[in-house]
Amino acid sequence: MSLHIYRKLYNRRGTAIILALVFGVLLLQFAIAYSGLVGKSRPQTDIIDERVRLQYLSTGLTEIALLKFQKFPADFYNCWRFQASSSANLSFWQDPTGPLAEFSIAAPEFVEYKTNGFAASRSSFNERPIRLWLTEMRLMTDNRWNVEVLQIKAHAEYPGRTGKPVNIDTVRTLRTERITRR
Amino acid sequence: MSHPTPGCRRGVTLTEIMIAMFIIAISFMPIMGALGTSVKATVKEDTVVRAMNLCQEKLNTSLQFPFAFFVPFLGTPIDAPIATPGISLPLGPETIEGVTYTSVLTVTDRPGTFRVPVRNLDVGNPADPKTWTFTNRNIAYNGLVHTYSLTVSWINKGETEPRFYTLVTFRADLRS
């Protein structure tokens, strides 16, 4: 065996350093990838917070809408009948004007926090006010049995940390029975 | 001239091993740093999540109380346990895993005004809703809607600044 070939085969000086460098580079890459993942992942608290704060407030708004219906059912039915007969819109309950809207989605009590938001529901890590309003108050009628379903929808949102709005829709559905006096 | 024989391999020297270990140790540092930060954040988030859960749990329980129960407490922060037959709500301080959380419930009346479009009965044909007209009436109410605000506050371990989490909802008197 010539000396040249022999040196190539048996001269292992610096192997450990090279291996360590390769391993080090791999670890660095891993660290960079991990940091990237951690940075991109949304904190668990944010996800829970979004769901909870918005949910409670929008549910609260549907509660007020339900109270209004309970106090003034005849007026609601009158508005409903008028809107159903006069609107060209198939989803007439979404008309932004007219008596039905005045009763529900455009009533001042249901759009009070639509512009400036509700600021009292907050925390030490999230002080952004929540905007909330009523989006729907409709009947799902089965006239044959005078049994109806009233559906109330509320929407709540606030700007997330990235500026993208975080929103939630709460739907409350309940069975009502219309009693007609003859 | 002497040279190593095939049976006598030149391996890694102590210096090489030391340098290699140093390089590996250096490359582990950012990973350990990232892991440390992540663990700290997780521990911190744990206390927040626990506070959120407490807040939800207590607010849900408070909503199970009869609407009239809170009338004598309106506007006064409640920071001591309350109970009614079948339901009890522990408020005030409680320590969980070394962190003291203080829960305070405040129920306030939320007076307001309902806008009600009222049909003008003397106008239009009763059988033809298209001919109906409406006049808006504003009807004020109070004592029918309460605002429930539950705040849980705590201080993280190793910090002095208090943290808090507040949940708010509205509840209407739907009995009648």
A116-127 pLDDT, tens digit each? 899 888 888 778
DSSP state of B97: T
Contact A122, B166 (CB under 8 A): yes
Of the candidates B58, B63, B117, B60, the one whose C-alpha atom is nearest the C-alpha of residue B90 is B58
Task: Determine which of A5, A38, A71 to mutate to test the interface with B (most B C-beta atoms within 10 Å).
Answer: A71
Residue in the structure block whose two tokens are 């209407």: B172
Tokens of A54: 């918005």
Q: d(Cα B45, Cα B84) in Å, to the nearest integer?
A: 34
Q: What is the mean pLDDT of residues B116-136?
A: 92
Residue in the structure block whose two tokens are 């606030």: A158
Contact B62, B148 (CB under 8 A): yes
Q: Is B119 on the interface with A (CB under 8 A)?
A: yes
Q: Is A36 on the interface with B (CB under 8 A)?
A: no
3 state SS of A81 = helix
Q: Is B39 on the interface with A (CB under 8 A)?
A: no
Between chain A and chain B, the number of residue pairs with CB atoms below 8 A apart is 181
> What is the percentage of chain A residues whose pLDDT exceeds 90?
38
Tokens of A78: 């009158």
- Read off φ and ψ for residue B158, nearest 5 degrees: 80, 5
Cβ within 8 Å, pair A15-B12: yes
Q: Is A138 on the interface with B (CB under 8 A)?
A: no
pLDDT at B1: 46
- Taking contacts as CB-CB distances below 8 angstroms, the residues of chain B near A14 are 16
Cβ within 8 Å, pair A107-B59: no
Paired residues of A157 in beta bridges: A131, A167
pLDDT tens sequence across B57-80? 999 999 999 999 999 999 999 999
A93: left (phi over 0), alpha (psi -120 to 50) or beta: alpha
Paired residues of B164 in beta bridges: B153
pLDDT tens sequence across A13-60? 677 778 778 887 888 887 788 777 766 666 667 777 777 889 999 999
B147 pLDDT band, cuts 50/70/90, is: very high
B111 pLDDT band, cuts 50/70/90, is: very high
B30 pLDDT band, cuts 50/70/90, is: confident
Whether the predicted model's global pTM rises above the 0.90 cut: no
Of the candidates B140, B52, B119, B158, the one whose C-alpha atom is nearest the C-alpha of residue A109 is B140
Task: Determine which of B12, B128, B154 to mutate to test the interface with A (most A C-beta atoms within 10 Å).
Answer: B12
Q: Is A75 on the interface with B (CB under 8 A)?
A: yes
What does the mean pLDDT of chain B come to?
87
Tally of CB atoms within 10 A around B131: 13
